[in-house]
Amino acid sequence: MYGAMLQSKNSRLAFPALLVTTLVVFLLLGEELPFIMEYPEQWIVPFKYILNNFMDWLINQCSFGFFTFKELTRSLAWLASWPFEFGMGTLVEGFDVPASMLTGSGFHIPHVSWVAVVFCAALAGHYLNGWRLAAICGGCFLYLAVFGQWESAMETFSSILIAVPIATIFGLFLGTLSYWSKTVEIVLRPVLDMMQTVPIFAYLVPILLLFGFGPVSAMLGTVIYAVPPIVRCTHLGLKSVPEEQLEAGVISGCSRTQLFWKVKVPASKKQIMVGLNQVIMLTLNMVIIA
Amino acid sequence: MGTQQYASQDSQEIKLSCKNLWKVFGPNPQKFMAKHKQNPPSEAFIKTNHIGAVKNASFDVHPGEIFVIMGLSGSGKSTLVRCLSRLHKPTTGNIFFEGQDLSKVREKALIQLRRHKMGMVFQHFGLLPHRNVLENIAFPLEVQGIDRKQRKQRAMEVIDLVGLNDRVENLPMELSGGEQQRVGIARSLVVEPEVWFLDEPFSALDPLIRAEMQDEFLRLQRMLHKTIIFITHDFLEAIRVADKIAIMKDGEIVQIGTPEELITEPADSYVGEFTKKVPRGKVISVKAVMDEISEAEFSSLEKQGKAVMSDIPIEKCARQVLTQEPPVCVTDECGETFGMIEKEKFIDTLFEDSKPHSETEYVN
């Protein structure tokens, strides 16, 4: 009947009419039958306990024979902590070289001096856009030192230096994959929606349980949080290369790989840059929380 | 018109041709074509949600010929040229390029063909926005793996040809439309292709620039003698550049002929509609209005005034034909007289509507 209504001349009115009718009917029914107004508690399925039990099992009992699941994740965390340790060592802590045959009594390599960092920032600014940007970059880093925030700032900075490239590479990879394969695109779309809508703490806690408290968990959380925009931008950028540019590439004799690297990627660079900008912003946001 | 003198109409040699070419879009084109034995009727398309972009196209293009495909938007002309250049794979039918069937060629061989034998110009130029003029033009060479120095040298030659010497370092977006299309033309010529596809090359340009570019195009063709497939929706442009014109409507080729043939013998009212706007005196040659004479007649003919050549446009001799009392004689290239022009026929050809429609109209 609903279908018939839709096809009638007044089909535009059919849907609102149905909506109003539903609201009124159930409002009237609700006075007679209380379960229509409030969802009865005994109908709730105890997903919470099932999920809790599953997490509990995953962390405490799940095993692959030689090693447990938790050992697997923790060793992954240990592996992934290397780049982070390196970043921290360079900017904040320096490196302790332990005593051994090769090094003799062992010694300490100091971290990069704050003067050098300020100078490098200014230099990068000058390279990118001349003296004005150089002054702004150098000035901002100097500000951190002057106001006594140097150490914590460098800690954040080193996480960003590691997290942004990881998120970017991962995002570019997924975006490209979803461009090539319709299946990947269809699967990825709801996953990205989830990643962007689920509150951070909802996945931060299980990550902490699996990977332990530390920079790696923070980084993983950051990547999950920051990756969706660059995936979307990469996908959109590659998709929106004008047809004639592609045809010009093909008629010039491009192979598939040449067409991708010489035509599609450069043409979608602007979009990808927007994605990168989002990644950096979200990473900053997340690193502080994590 | 154009470079007719280079078109070897009589030789058996054919550069590019297609036979019973179909391009069908829709849910399952192959099955659809098979079901209708490769020749579906037009009602079948709507019923099964298929669209026949190109329907049963067949024609030959000779070396050095400018073959124009003319039609309004949606007539399938762009799809047809993309089938010929194999940017699209035709649904059924064959395309022969120098005798090789392009509809069966593998991807790898196709890439080689495109790299060395094909060039294409696009309506909206299709330039790569992140590359400057030189890099755009050298792009087809770069793709082939030719080294930087050599490709720069070759690109500069073509840049010289299209007159963009002072724009070498500019990005496409810094150029005017006409200049951008010059880049497009230079890029398509840089590999010295055998066939040159031009898909509405001047349609996006202002009328003045368009006329200038048409002249430029004809100048280039006089130097290069390419085999050309030229797409346009502008009939005046078509007759200006074409050796031969194919007129398309709803995916079908309605008529193929020289500009003059289309004007003097349009196949149907659709073609006739286009030819109405044409300055007939400029296109129709003396040959089309003259009557051939036998040797007996020739001897009895009063030979007065100057004879005219059979291949000049009738506009050029209108004054003489209409004012001279005895009929004007027509000669061939060698100066032999072989025809004469009747005034009535001349006027009727020049002014299509001058024929009396019925006697009664004039009585009243």
Residue reference for tokens 């491009």: A254
Q: Is the pLDDT of residue B11 over 50?
A: no
Among partner residues B115, B119, B126, which is closest to A247 by beta-carbon distance? B126
Q: Report residue B357's pLDDT band, with 50, 70 and 90 as the boundaries.
A: low
Query: What mean pLDDT is predicted for residues A35-42?
Result: 82
Query: Which of B82, B111, B180 should we substitute to test contact with A (largest number of A Cβ atoms within 10 Å)?
Result: B111
pLDDT tens-digit readout, B269-293:
888 888 887 888 888 888 888 888 7
Q: Report residue B300's pLDDT band, with 50, 70 and 90 as the boundaries.
A: low
pLDDT tens-digit readout, B157-193:
999 988 899 999 999 999 999 999 999 999 999 999 9
Q: Report residue A246's pLDDT band, with 50, 70 and 90 as the boundaries.
A: very high
Instruction: Report d(CA B228, CA B61) in Å as an integer.
Output: 8
Instruction: Report d(CA A132, CA A130) in Å as an integer.
Output: 6
Contact flag A253-B120 (C-beta cutoff 8 Å): no
Mean pLDDT of chain A: 84
pLDDT tens-digit readout, B102-155:
888 888 999 999 999 999 999 999 999 999 999 999 999 999 999 999 999 999
Instruction: Report d(CA A186, CA B352) in Å as an integer.
Output: 62
Provide the pairing of β-strand B66-71 with B244-249: parallel
Query: What mean pLDDT is predicted for residues B7-20?
Result: 71
Query: What mean pLDDT is predicted for residues B50-74?
Result: 92
What's the confidence (pLDDT) of residue B304?
A: 67
Residue B275: CA count within 13 A, CB half-sphere: 29
Which residues of chain B have a CB within 8 Å of the CB of A262?
A: 139, 142-143
What's the confidence (pLDDT) of residue B10?
A: 43
B118 interfacial to chain A (CB closer than 8 Å): yes
Q: Report residue A13's pLDDT band, with 50, 70 and 90 as the boundaries.
A: confident
Query: Which of A241, A244, A245, A252 should we substitute to test contact with B (largest number of B Cβ atoms within 10 Å)?
Result: A252
What is the Cα Rg of chain A in Å? 27
Residue ranges of B 179-198 with Cβ closer than 8 A to chain A:
187-188, 191, 197
* Highest mean pLDDT, choosing among A7-16, A111-120, A234-243: A234-243
What's the confidence (pLDDT) of residue A287?
A: 73
Query: How far is C-alpha B145 from the geometric centre of its chain's CA atoms?
Result: 33
pLDDT tens-digit readout, B335-353:
788 888 888 888 888 887 6
Q: Please, are residues B186 and B161 in contact by the beta-carbon 8 Å criterion?
A: yes
Q: Report residue A1's pLDDT band, with 50, 70 and 90 as the boundaries.
A: very low
Q: Is the pLDDT of residue B253 over 90?
A: yes
The token duo for B250 is 């709803």
Distance from CA of B26 to the nearest CA of A (A): 19
A2-11, B300-309, B325-334, B336-345: segment of lowest average pLDDT: A2-11
pLDDT tens-digit readout, A211-227:
777 767 777 787 788 88
Instruction: Report d(CA B29, CA B35) in Å as an integer.
Output: 10
Distance from CA of A251 to the nearest CA of B (A): 6
* Highest mean pLDDT, choosing among A30-34, A52-56, A173-177: A173-177
Distance from CA of A247 to the nearest CA of B (A): 7
Among partner residues A249, A251, A263, which is closest to B85 by beta-carbon distance? A251
Residue reference for tokens 């009747």: B342
Domains delineated in chain B: 16-258 (3.40.50.300), 281-353 (3.90.1280.20)
pLDDT tens-digit readout, A41-50:
888 888 888 8
* pTM recorded for the entire structure: 0.76
Domains delineated in chain A: 43-61+68-96+150-290 (1.10.3720.10), 113-148 (no CATH)
Q: Is the pLDDT of residue A284 over 60?
A: yes
A99-103, A184-188, B106-110, B130-134: segment of lowest average pLDDT: A99-103
Query: Which of B105, B130, B183 should we substitute to test contact with A (largest number of A Cβ atoms within 10 Å)?
Result: B130
Distance from CA of B359 to the nearest CA of A (A): 56
Query: How far is C-alpha B272 from the geometric centre of its chain's CA atoms?
Result: 18
Q: Please, are residues A211 and A77 in contact by the beta-carbon 8 Å criterion?
A: yes
What's the confidence (pLDDT) of residue B338?
A: 81
Distance from CA of A15 to the nearest CA of B (A): 29
Contact flag B143-A269 (C-beta cutoff 8 Å): no
Query: What mean pLDDT is predicted for residues A137-150?
Result: 90
What number of residues does chain A have? Answer: 290
